[in-house]
Amino acid sequence: MWDVKKLYSFSIDDELERLPDTVPELAGIEKHIPSLKTLIHPKIHWVDMKIKHKGQNYISMEDIGGNSFTIDSSYVAKGLASCENTTLMAVTIGEEITVNSNINYGKGQFWEGIIADRFGSYAVEVLIERFHKYLKRNFLSKGLCSTLRFSPGYGDWHLQDQRRILDILDTKSHITVNSFSILEPTKSITALIGWSRTHQASNYPVGTKATGLCDGKTNCQDCNTWACRSGSKG
């Protein structure tokens, strides 16, 4: 079995209260936040691993029990080139806020549906960012610095790896994946973080049409990593 850690009582209430101050499209919803917060139920699964092997187009990791996980991706391999440890994670805020949004849409209460959906989208980002900061503090005490987060579907890391990640992290009670490799509940995120003895730049690996880190065939409209072979981003 993988050495998976689970956390189901991770509070992000303070950050959620501040969202209207930092997100323009949520301005004016302050009176709705108390009820929206009751629909947020954070769940976090993660496993820490050591990097065993690195290549130009892959990276192989292993947990404390000797279980191995290999990612075939030049994008991820380059992003974690100076790292010696990694953390693989999956987080979710649950399905209640999406259910609430759909109910409001069904009643013709479109503004309420939109607000619930957008609040949920920002809430799951707040959750993973807050947990990332929590991990940073812990690893800094070991002299390790964090990379940015890498997720399937960006660069040349195939979205189909979502299923492998969820199997490793034993999330079936809280997060699943459909036949299109989309996470359910939709307000969920999987990610990989690298840990290095040296300070890490706060930018993603850069690619070009000739030497890029992506096949240029998928996820173009949603990719903001500039790891592109298609030539559409430089």
* Mean pLDDT over the full length of the chain: 90
pTM: 0.89
- Model confidence pLDDT, tens digit, residues 13-66: 999 999 999 999 999 999 999 999 999 999 999 999 999 999 988 999 999 999
- Residue 230 domain-assigned? no
- Residue 209 domain-assigned? no
**Residue 232 confidence class, pLDDT cut points 50, 70, 90:** very low
**Residue 219 confidence class, pLDDT cut points 50, 70, 90:** low
- Residue 216 domain-assigned? no
DSSP letter at 195?
E
- Residue 143 domain-assigned? yes
- Rounded Cα distance, 12 and 156, in Å: 32
Say whether pLDDT at 177 is over 60.
yes
- Residue 145 domain-assigned? yes
Say whether pLDDT at 233 is over 80.
no
Residue 40: both structure tokens together = 């947020």
Phi, psi of 49 (to 5 degrees): -140, 155
For residue 18, the enclosing domain spans 5-201
Question: Looking at the 3D structure of the chain, how many domains does it have?
Answer: 1
**Residue 109 confidence class, pLDDT cut points 50, 70, 90:** very high
pLDDT at 155: 83
- Residue 118 domain-assigned? yes
In this prediction, residues 128-145 reach a mean pLDDT of 95
Which domain CATH number covers 72? 3.40.109.40
**Could you count the other beta carbons within 10 Å of the beta carbon of residue 41?**
14
